[in-house]
Copies of this chain bind each other. A is one copy, B any other.
Amino acid sequence: MATQFGERIRELRTKQNLLLRQLASQLDVDTSIISKVERGDRQLKKEQIPLLAQILKADVEELQTLWLADQLYNMVQGEPMADEALKSVTKQIKKK
Protein backbone atom coordinates (compact mmCIF):
# COMPACT_ATOMS: atom_id res chain seq x y z
CA MET A 1 0.00 0.00 0.00
CA ALA A 2 0.96 3.58 -0.60
CA THR A 3 2.43 5.52 2.27
CA GLN A 4 3.56 8.89 0.99
CA PHE A 5 0.75 10.51 2.85
CA GLY A 6 1.10 8.44 6.00
CA GLU A 7 4.81 8.99 6.26
CA ARG A 8 4.37 12.70 5.98
CA ILE A 9 1.66 12.73 8.63
CA ARG A 10 3.86 10.87 11.05
CA GLU A 11 6.69 13.23 10.32
CA LEU A 12 4.53 16.26 11.02
CA ARG A 13 2.93 14.74 14.09
CA THR A 14 6.15 13.72 15.79
CA LYS A 15 7.74 17.02 14.91
CA GLN A 16 5.00 18.63 16.97
CA ASN A 17 5.26 16.13 19.79
CA LEU A 18 1.73 15.00 19.34
CA LEU A 19 0.69 11.55 20.43
CA LEU A 20 -1.47 9.41 18.19
CA ARG A 21 -4.27 9.71 20.67
CA GLN A 22 -4.02 13.47 20.76
CA LEU A 23 -4.16 13.81 17.02
CA ALA A 24 -6.92 11.21 16.87
CA SER A 25 -9.05 13.01 19.38
CA GLN A 26 -8.74 16.29 17.54
CA LEU A 27 -9.70 14.56 14.33
CA ASP A 28 -12.47 12.78 16.20
CA VAL A 29 -11.53 9.25 15.24
CA ASP A 30 -10.11 6.29 17.08
CA THR A 31 -6.38 6.18 17.71
CA SER A 32 -6.07 3.00 15.72
CA ILE A 33 -7.15 4.77 12.57
CA ILE A 34 -4.35 7.26 12.69
CA SER A 35 -1.92 4.48 13.41
CA LYS A 36 -3.09 2.64 10.34
CA VAL A 37 -3.10 5.73 8.20
CA GLU A 38 0.48 6.52 9.08
CA ARG A 39 1.53 2.99 8.23
CA GLY A 40 -0.40 2.94 5.00
CA ASP A 41 -2.90 0.31 6.12
CA ARG A 42 -5.81 2.67 5.71
CA GLN A 43 -6.67 5.71 3.68
CA LEU A 44 -8.05 8.74 5.41
CA LYS A 45 -11.29 10.13 4.08
CA LYS A 46 -10.71 13.02 1.76
CA GLU A 47 -12.94 15.31 3.81
CA GLN A 48 -10.71 14.86 6.83
CA ILE A 49 -7.65 16.34 5.19
CA PRO A 50 -8.40 20.04 5.75
CA LEU A 51 -8.89 19.56 9.48
CA LEU A 52 -5.83 17.35 9.65
CA ALA A 53 -3.76 19.99 7.91
CA GLN A 54 -4.98 22.56 10.35
CA ILE A 55 -4.11 20.44 13.37
CA LEU A 56 -0.66 19.72 12.00
CA LYS A 57 -0.18 23.26 10.77
CA ALA A 58 0.60 21.88 7.38
CA ASP A 59 -0.19 23.03 3.88
CA VAL A 60 -3.56 21.60 2.86
CA GLU A 61 -2.58 21.35 -0.76
CA GLU A 62 0.56 19.43 0.04
CA LEU A 63 -1.43 16.85 1.99
CA GLN A 64 -4.12 16.68 -0.67
CA THR A 65 -1.50 16.03 -3.28
CA LEU A 66 0.10 13.26 -1.28
CA TRP A 67 -3.27 11.76 -0.49
CA LEU A 68 -4.32 11.78 -4.13
CA ALA A 69 -1.01 10.33 -5.21
CA ASP A 70 -1.56 7.45 -2.80
CA GLN A 71 -4.98 6.77 -4.23
CA LEU A 72 -3.61 6.76 -7.75
CA TYR A 73 -0.72 4.58 -6.78
CA ASN A 74 -3.01 2.02 -5.21
CA MET A 75 -5.05 1.99 -8.37
CA VAL A 76 -2.25 1.46 -10.84
CA GLN A 77 0.22 -0.55 -8.84
CA GLY A 78 0.65 -3.97 -10.35
CA GLU A 79 -1.15 -2.98 -13.53
CA PRO A 80 0.88 -3.69 -16.62
CA MET A 81 -0.66 -0.77 -18.45
CA ALA A 82 -0.17 1.68 -15.60
CA ASP A 83 2.30 3.86 -17.37
CA GLU A 84 0.33 4.24 -20.53
CA ALA A 85 -2.88 4.96 -18.65
CA LEU A 86 -1.17 7.60 -16.54
CA LYS A 87 0.22 9.28 -19.58
CA SER A 88 -3.17 9.31 -21.24
CA VAL A 89 -4.87 10.86 -18.23
CA THR A 90 -2.18 13.45 -17.83
CA LYS A 91 -2.83 14.53 -21.39
CA GLN A 92 -6.58 14.59 -20.90
CA ILE A 93 -6.29 16.71 -17.80
CA LYS A 94 -4.07 19.21 -19.50
CA LYS A 95 -6.50 19.75 -22.34
CA LYS A 96 -9.12 20.99 -19.93
Residues of B within 8 A of A71 (CB): 75
Residue from the list B65, B73, B81, B87 in contact with A64, Cβ < 8 A: B81
Q: In the complex the two chains form, what is the Cα distance from A90 to B76 in whole Å?
A: 10
Mostly helix, strand, loop or mixed at chain A's interface? helix
**This protein's copies in its complex:** 2
Q: How many residues of A contact B (CB 8 A)?
A: 27
Residues of B within 8 A of A61 (CB): 80-81
Residues of B within 8 A of A81 (CB): 61, 64-65, 68
Name the CB-closest residue of B to A96: B77
Which residues on A are within 8 Å of B, measured CB to CB?
4, 61, 64-65, 68-69, 71-73, 75-77, 79-90, 92-94
